Structure 1
Amino acid sequence: MTAPATDPQAPSWERDGVRLEIDGELAVVTLCQPKRRNAQSPALWRALAQAGRELPGSVRVVLLRAEGVSFSAGLDRAMFTPEGIPGEPTFLQLAGSADKELDEAIASYQEAFTWWRRADLVSIAVVQGHAVGAGFQLALGCDLRVVADDVQFAMKETSLGLVPDLAGTKPLVELVGYARALEICATGRWVGAEEAVATGLANLAVSGAELDSAARDLAAALLAAPRGAVIETKALLQGACGRSYDEQRSAERVAQARRLRELAGIGD
């Protein structure tokens, strides 16, 4: 059904827990360490960031999915131990590093979570089972979320004395509002499928058996619209919260002028 990416590093991505497949205008990124419930590590984050850099320009929609019973159980627990993960800095080493070095390390981790909202793509997180901490934030990194009816989101960082720092706080507030976002993060409680849909955290909830087909149906509907129109519409919606009503109307006029001229074949 899909053709694997031709990048020679692809096998190493799979060893780090990520598989990338390309099918024309659709890309599928899969977390593929189901026995570990797709626990996350810096190596996995580097693989996710690399997958984003290697997407061909023809790709319009990206599905982010995971094998096994859980989307992602969050950080690899070894990161919380004094020994850490071989080849990676431990939390204690990070805490003892200089401000600039610590900031750069966290920024490098965030790269895995930020490219999903690129202007030229629409990304869909396909989420089943547990999506905890870093797993929750990875799902939040996407534009849209389709979830199974057994989904359980939780932001556990605050309960561990940390904060969510993988680019998840802004989309969470935008989706559910400040008060509910604060309550979810500060309590670390579970959010199920029904609440996720009701609050706007998820676009759609279906049975586990229907999850992949529902996500692919949504991808097909997105691909049916002209690419230029989707890109312009996404940009308008992404910028809407930062503009006044009149500024948004102006942005709509400018975007529509570009669309009309492109459809008419009139260049700049």
Structure 2
Amino acid sequence: MNPIGIIGGTGLTRLAQLAGQDSELVPTPYGAPSAALVRGVVGGRQVAFLARHGSPHRIPPHRVNYRANLWALHAAGVRRIIAVAAVGGITEGMDDGRVIIPDQVIDYTYGRAHTFFEEDLEEVVHVDFTEPYTPALRRELIAAARELGLDAAETGTYAATQGPRLESAAEVDRLERDGCHIVGMTAMPEAALARELELEYASVAVVANRAAGRADGEITMARIEATLVAGMERVGRLLERVLPQL
């Protein structure tokens, strides 16, 4: 049985529920991934965990080697990925600690290596990206969240910005006008690369803070980290519930 891939973001550099762990740094044609793959079992299900920003957390979002990360998971036999991310909440209801299972993404990033299809091609390759997050995998996450009573937002559009700085209030106003509900820095090109490798991919996002212009006072890392403690505990419970069912 193929392992389920878990990509951990800010606030989730290790998976505490993972039993029988061993790790391996998987070489790729695109360089080294952010960290070694940590393999183990959660609820009887084989899992391969990768810390997106490294372990310890040290790689900023615009410097993550997304191609190497996705290639390493694919080479390890992963065919389904749950990507965890910390985000800012833009619209009403996207409050601190809220869990979101997004269904759409808008890419505002630039200058990132964003495709596997650019060299030594016999023909140009285009992939369908109408639904960037795999509907079947999203449905399983939503069902598990309902069983746990997590009150997760079951849809939402993720604005992927460049970082590492946070956005200005005017930029967040624009994102809201564009139809975005949450803002983060890592959804792209990660989701598109997963699609190019024909991997099922879904995201679980946690609101770490209200976005610029929506929060009271300055947005600080201390405040974000405090919020993520409780938020990632909810994510851990969600993973424990959904993984055995996949």
TM-score range, shorter chain: 0.3 to 0.5
**TM-score computed with the length of structure 2 as normaliser:** 0.37
Could you say which structure has the greater relative contact order, defined with CA pairs below 8 angstroms and 6 or more residues apart? 2
Question: Which of the two has greater helix per residue?
Answer: 1
